[in-house]
Amino acid sequence: MARRKKIYEGKAKILYEGPEPGTIVQYFKDDATAFNAEKKATIEGKGVLNNRLSEFFMTGLTQIGVPNHFIKRLNMREQLVRAAEIIPLEVIVRNFAAGSLSKRLGIPEGEPLPRPIIEFCYKDDALGDPLVAEEHIIAFGWASQQDLDDIVSLALRVNDFMSGLMLGVGIKLVDFKIEIGRVWDNDYQRLLVADEISPDSCRLWDIETGQKLDKDVFRRDLGSLSDAYTEVARRLGVLPSNVTHTTKPTLIN
Ligand code: 5GP
């Protein structure tokens, strides 16, 4: 079989050329990194869980009419997605103070915010993904004002969807990061949710106990990351109750 052409390798995923023009195969690795890759580990099964969870969230977004890149899952670690030009921004939505917001502004972690706060970071590893203002984004041409309006609207729709979904399984959506892609339909540009939505890019706290069920478990050495992600997947019904991250891969339809 011919080898596939690798387009890009990031910290947690590899992108390969897809079978049709305009498609990409997104492969989820088991690698975990934090603090701009200063901390690294391989977490067995993480890629399988994130592939499944991202499929689950993106499929739900499609069902409520939020455009996203997901086409179909191919196997345990790969999904077919629509090729998109990624806008070089991390779009962060926060419902409760945590992480860098708490650090920057001295607001205790867990404090509810008066309204969802959207922040933008410029995607540049060498610079440590710095926080930027809309002024920078427009002045440097990363996105237009119209794009930003659309991005905010997409981000808030994702927030409402994800918050409700998580509430239903006893989890508080503290914050999350999404990435937005640009696609062209003839001469018309459309924006869609791209990359992944998974516990790697969200803060998820158990509503009753406050237990962290996201990548902070790895960042802050709080226990088993696979156990945390498996718990999220199991609560959402994404994994059958007898499956754990150590279960051997099986073929899916
Ligand atoms: P913070 O700015 O507090 O570090 O992160 C805010 C939210 O965005 C958290 O849910 C965090 O997981 C997510 N996030 C921020 N930067 C990144 C990143 O570079 N990669 C991933 N996967 N998530 C990020």
- C-alpha dist (Å) from residue 72 to 82, 116, 169, 249: 10, 31, 25, 18
Residues of the chain with CATH 3.30.200.20: 6-84+224-235
> Do 21 and 183 meet the contact criterion of CB atoms below 8 Å apart?
no
Q: What is the CATH number of domain 85-206?
A: 3.30.470.20
- Ligand 1 contact, 13 CB (< 6 A): no
CA 53 to centroid of ligand 1, rounded, Å: 17
CA 100 to centroid of ligand 1, rounded, Å: 9
Helix (H) or strand (E) holding 143: none
**CA dihedral for 45, 48, 51, 52, sign (positive or negative):** negative
When pLDDT is cut at 50, 70 and 90, the band that residue 240 belongs to is low
Residues of the chain with CATH 3.30.470.20: 85-206
- Whether the per-residue pLDDT at 252 is higher than 80: the answer is no
Q: Which of 146, 142, 183 is nearest to 23 (CA)?
A: 183
- 158-211 pLDDT per residue, tens: 999 999 999 999 999 999 999 999 999 889 999 999 999 999 999 999 999 999
CA 133 to centroid of ligand 1, rounded, Å: 17
> Do 24 and 83 meet the contact criterion of CB atoms below 8 Å apart?
yes
CA 195 to centroid of ligand 1, rounded, Å: 13
Residue 3's pLDDT is 74
- Ligand 1 contact, 116 CB (< 6 A): no
CA distance 235 to 180: 27
Bridge partners for 179 per DSSP: 194
Averaged over 67-83, what is the pLDDT?
A: 98
Percent of the chain at pLDDT > 90 equals 91
Here the tokens at position 180 are: 């937005």
End-to-end CA distance of the chain: 21
* Other C-beta atoms lying within 10 Å of the C-beta of residue 10: 12
Mutate to test the pocket of ligand 1, among 92, 125, 214, 219 (most ligand atoms within 8 A of CB): 92
Residue 239's pLDDT is 81
CA 191 to centroid of ligand 1, rounded, Å: 21
Query: Does the domain made of 6-84+224-235 have the CATH classification 3.30.200.20?
Result: yes
> Whose C-alpha lies nearest to ligand 1, atom 3?
99
Dihedral, 234, 240, 57, 122 alpha carbons, nearest 10: 60
- Ligand 1 contact, 99 CB (< 6 A): yes
Closest ligand 1 atom to 216 CA: 12
Q: Burial letters for 176-213: b for 16+ Cβ neighbours within 10 Å, e otherwise?
A: bbbbbbebeeeeeeebbbbbbbbbbbbbbbbeeeeebb
> Whose C-alpha lies nearest to ligand 1, atom 11?
201
- Whether the per-residue pLDDT at 253 is higher than 50: the answer is no
Closest ligand 1 atom to 12 CA: 22
CA distance 80 to 15: 10
Closest ligand 1 atom to 196 CA: 22
- 84-114 pLDDT per residue, tens: 999 999 999 999 999 999 999 999 999 999 9
CA 176 to centroid of ligand 1, rounded, Å: 6
Q: In what order do the strands lie in the sheet with 23-28?
A: 6-9, 13-17, 23-28, 78-82, 70-73
